Amino acid sequence: MAEITLHITRGSEKEGKHEETYQVPFVEGMSLLDAIFWIREHKDPTLAVRYSCRSANACKECMAVVDGKAGYLCSIRAEENSEQKIEPLAARPWVKDLTTAIE
Ligand code: FES
């Protein structure tokens, strides 16, 4: 079965930062936000991520850093058998996992 591997920053200012790695089944056309939803449903419901529109790229709440570059998790497509690192935005106050405060 095709998968993607995601290295995701977890924690908070209070708990400290660490990275967790997840293998997610690949589905053609899935976004990184879809992959995070799969992790929340099947592995860890506490994984925090901010989102609203989920695909319209309109709310701009799902912004994170993917492989060192800022982007919207709902609009970045996962690639079969890829490996990606996802971190919270460094420019905003960190809340938890992939969520940052919107100023
Ligand atoms: S969830 Fe709205 S832009 Fe990504």
Domain CATH number, residue 45: 3.10.20.30
Tell me: the pLDDT tens digits for 52-78? 998 877 898 999 999 999 999 999 999
Q: Predicted confidence band at 84 (pLDDT cuts at 50, 70, 90)?
A: very high
- CB-CB neighbours of 87 under 10 Å: 19
**Relative to the CA of 72, which ligand 1 atom is closest?**
4
Ligand 1 pocket check for 74: Cβ under 6 Å? yes
* pTM check: above 0.75: yes
What is the reported pLDDT for 58?
84
Q: Is residue 57 part of a domain?
A: yes
Domains contained in the chain, number: 1
Average pLDDT on 39-56 reads 94
- Cα(6) to ligand 1 centroid in Å equals 19
Q: Is 37 in the pocket of ligand 1 (CB under 6 A)?
A: no
Ligand 1 midpoint to CA 102 (Å):
13
In a domain, 53, yes or no: yes
Give residue 56's domain range.
Answer: 3-96
Cα-to-centroid distance, 59 and ligand 1 (Å): 5
44 located within any domain? yes
pLDDT at 26: 98
Cα 60 to ligand 1 centroid, rounded to whole Å:
5
Q: Residue 89 — very low, low, confident or very high, per pLDDT cuts 50/70/90?
A: very high
Residue 11 located in a structural domain: yes
Phi-psi region of 81 (alpha: psi -120 to 50; beta: other; left: phi over 0): left
Strands 3-12 and 99-100, bridge-based pairing: unpaired
Contact 90, 49 (CB under 8 A): no
